[in-house]
Structure 1
Amino acid sequence: MAKRRRLSPAQSDYLETQSATLETKSMPLGRAPIAQVAGEASTSAALEELAGTLREARAQGRMIEAVPLDRIETGYLVRDRLVADDEELQALMESLRARGQQTPVELVDLGQGRFGLISGWRRLTALGRLRAETGDDRFATVLAVLRRPETAADAYVAMVEENEIRVGLSYYERARVAAKAVEQGVFETEKKALLSLYASASRAKRSKIRSFLELYHAADELLRFPSAIGERLGLALAKVLDGRASRQEALRAALDAAAPDTAAGEQAVLEQMLAEFERADAGPPEPQTREAAKDGVEKDGLPSDAVRNRIAPGIYARWDGQSLVLDGQGMSDALCGRLLDWIRDNA
């Protein structure tokens, strides 16, 4: 018979002794540490993704920003639009006043908090006037998208295309911006400027713009209302000027002497000079008979009143034997005063 082992009785203080020797730690309430770390990492990644999306949208010109007007340099590019029609500008101001700005302008970041205007000159001008008139802070900023043109040529193309789409420019304004871009070294030649700036225009339209370059080179600094010159007059003048220095000088002299203060007055001078150049191209008139010229009497080198002599650009003289008549666009109060003084001193 197997011998039985005697078992010792359980120690009543065993569990209490073991419990006293175990180290106890407090557990945090809520999420476990691993869940908290994972959540923070996810939030950080989402914010970084959002920031990256915003940076990309800003770089690609897809984000609209509010930019203070006083940080924008309107002369960043030579503007193609020379003047803004007061009636149209007033209508734009009323629209901005009532509905706010609906379409953003285009800017380029110049650094140090400055921006250059690419397109949107009329909107910027209207907002500036509203700000000056009302003092309202809502007109102190302009909604804009930032562009990143790789070259100055790209910036000019963007400006021209925006104006071509919205409000057509005059042929003179189109020609002028092409010439200015060449003068600033943006394009090598005027031909390249026309092909780049007006790539979407028809060949016939580019040809007309090229013709207006003739007028720009002849008298840009003396023309006060060039954007009012119509297509017919501009093309006709370009044809008779044809790069001839003597005619360019005559045109400048006539404009300088007349100094017209209205668009209509300036166009009258241009029409007068056009008529003179066309007469010169047609050749000398047929000799007059003594009967047609009222006996053809000439005195002091001036013919009778049957013939009107051009004695200076825009000035004509007619002598009838007793009276000397001077007329033409070149006559002015100042010139008359000098003539009267000379007669008094030399009579």
Structure 2
Amino acid sequence: MSKRRVFDIDFEDTAVPAGTEPPAATRRGPMAAAISENAEAVSARQATEAGIREENDRLAHEYMKLKKNGQITGLVPVDMIRMDKLTRDRSATRDPELQELKDSIRAVGLSNPIRVEETRDGFELIQGFRRLSAFRELLAETGDETFARIPATLQAKGEDLKHLYRRMVDENLVRRDISFAEMAQLAISYAGQRGMDVGEAVDRLYASAGRQKRAYIKSFVHLLNSVGDALKFPESIPRATGLGLVKLLDTNPRFAGQLRAVLDSQRDRDAATELSLLRGAVTGGAGKPKKPKAPAPKSSARTTIKLNRPEGVARCTASAGKFEVLLDHDFGAVDPRRLELAARAFLDQLKD
């Protein structure tokens, strides 16, 4: 008779009591789902807006930093620029080289923007007096709206006046045509504006210049303080002539009055005449021009030479008291200052 083996088998109790069902997954209604989705969208939008504000703040700070450093450039209407804040170091008389600057601007444009500071109702000029003057004249002469707006670097408001003057002065020190009289006049005006000694004003404004150059400027300060109101064209005085005049002012107490009398004797003088009077006063040593030398006897000789030039053949004729050049060239269109320099160079070559 066979034997049956019995095995113990354990079954998990998975039986479900009769009459019950497994718990169903939790379900949200339409309103709850909409509220949840809207909250997520609002949160995402707020995060995006916060990022935009942060980026705008960063850009605004960067813009103000560039602006403070004068690195923002734009086109500024020339009629919105004032020149009241700083005393200019340029003479009020006509600039003989301004036409050359205007011709350059018309040909190739303005390569170096001016510098302005924003004000409540416009802009204040910091650097670029001649460039602004050229644009304004070109606009008046041509009516071309191209010259109604000038390239300018925008500078933030509030920079110390001392620094603004130094910026203007240091820019002009690299120019060869700024005269000692113009630099001296700026120092006089600055000293009066700041309530300081004019010598200190020279040292502060022209700290970038050498000691010798500052000494020359102080000499011209002395000249302008002594006879400046009697001079019509102080910017035309060369350094040597100015220093000679100052030496006579220091050694002869009557020299200032004598020099004024000489200048008053020719009230309707131009720059060349005034300079001739001043040089005569220096060489005469007593405030009066030297007596002219007796004229040399005139010769009847006549010399003619021909020069081959790129413009053509120049025919030159020299005789007593006369030198004539015939060339197919419009000499009347040449800048008067260039003509004067050429004539001086020519005459200097003829000195004995």
Give the alignment's TM-score, normalised by structure 2: 0.67
Residue 195 of structure 1 corresponds to: 203
C-alpha distance 269-157 of structure 1, shift in aligned 2 (>3 A):
same
Matched, 1:74 2:83: yes
Q: Conserved in 2, the CA contact under 8 Å of 1:171 and 1:231?
A: yes
Alpha-carbon distance in structure 1 between the residues aligned to 2:121 and 2:30: 65
Q: Secondary structure at the match of 1:77?
A: coil
Alpha-carbon deviations, 1:36-81, whole Å to 9, x = none?
Answer: 3222211121112112221222233221233222222224322112
Q: Conserved in 1, the CA contact under 8 Å of 2:283 and 2:289?
A: no
Alpha-carbon distance in structure 1 between the residues aligned to 2:243 and 2:147: 42
Alpha-carbon distance in structure 1 between the residues aligned to 2:56 and 2:153: 25
Matched, 1:215 2:189: no
Superposed counterparts of 1:92-131, under 5 Å: 92-109=101-118, 111-131=119-139
Alpha-carbon deviations, 1:173-224, whole Å to 9, x = none?
Answer: 111211222223x251121111111112121111111111222112222212
Q: Conserved in 2, the CA contact under 8 Å of 1:172 and 1:226?
A: yes
Q: Conserved in 2, the CA contact under 8 Å of 1:60 and 1:148?
A: no
Q: Secondary structure at the match of 2:229?
A: coil
Residue 293 of structure 1 corresponds to: none
Q: Conserved in 1, the CA contact under 8 Å of 2:280 and 2:290?
A: no
Give the alignment's TM-score, normalised by structure 1: 0.68
Residue 56 of structure 2 corresponds to: 47
Alpha-carbon distance in structure 2 between the residues aligned to 1:279 and 1:21: 113
Q: Secondary structure at the match of 2:123?
A: strand
Matched to 2:76, the amino acid is: V
Q: Conserved in 1, the CA contact under 8 Å of 2:165 and 2:205?
A: yes
Superposed counterparts of 1:86-97, under 5 Å: 86=96, 88-97=97-106
Matched, 1:165 2:186: no
Q: Secondary structure at the match of 1:118?
A: strand
Q: Conserved in 1, the CA contact under 8 Å of 2:241 and 2:279?
A: yes
Residue 174 of structure 1 corresponds to: 183
Q: Secondary structure at the match of 1:117?
A: strand
Alpha-carbon distance in structure 2 between the residues aligned to 1:146 and 1:23: 57
Unaligned runs of 5+ in 1: 281-312, 317-347
Q: Conserved in 2, the CA contact under 8 Å of 1:153 and 1:187?
A: no
Matched, 1:144 2:153: yes
Aligned-residue offset at 1:265: 0.7
1:255 to 259, 263, 269: 263
Superposed counterparts of 1:9-48, under 5 Å: 25-26=33-34, 32-48=41-57
Q: Conserved in 2, the CA contact under 8 Å of 1:178 and 1:197?
A: yes
Alpha-carbon distance in structure 2 between the residues aligned to 1:314 and 1:22: 109
Aligned-residue offset at 1:94: 2.8
Unaligned runs of 5+ in 2: 1-14, 292-352
Aligned residues: 273
Alpha-carbon deviations, 1:121-162, whole Å to 9, x = none?
Answer: 011001111211222333222223315564433222221111
Alpha-carbon distance in structure 2 between the residues aligned to 1:20 and 1:241: 104
Alpha-carbon distance in structure 1 between the residues aligned to 2:282 and 2:16: 139
Residue 277 of structure 2 corresponds to: 269
C-alpha distance 170-45 of structure 1, shift in aligned 2 (>3 A):
same
Alpha-carbon distance in structure 2 between the residues aligned to 1:150 and 1:22: 63
Alpha-carbon distance in structure 2 between the residues aligned to 1:103 and 1:315: 47
Q: Conserved in 2, the CA contact under 8 Å of 1:104 and 1:145?
A: no
Alpha-carbon deviations, 1:236-276, whole Å to 9, x = none?
Answer: 11100118553212211221221243222111211232244
Residue 74 of structure 2 corresponds to: 65
Q: Conserved in 2, the CA contact under 8 Å of 1:187 and 1:193?
A: no
Deviates more, 1:52-61 or 1:191-200: 52-61
RMSD of aligned residue pairs (Cα, Å) = 3.3
Q: Conserved in 1, the CA contact under 8 Å of 2:90 and 2:182?
A: yes
Matched to 1:39, the amino acid is: T
Matched to 1:198, the amino acid is: Y
Aligned-residue offset at 1:23: 5.5
Matched to 1:103, the amino acid is: N
Alpha-carbon distance in structure 1 between the residues aligned to 2:179 and 2:112: 23
Q: Conserved in 1, the CA contact under 8 Å of 2:80 and 2:123?
A: yes
Percent identity of equivalent pairs: 32
Matched to 1:63, the amino acid is: I
Superposed counterparts of 1:228-307, under 5 Å: 228-242=236-250, 246-276=254-284, 278=285
Q: Secondary structure at the match of 1:108?
A: strand
Aligned-residue offset at 1:165: 2.0
Matched, 1:155 2:164: yes
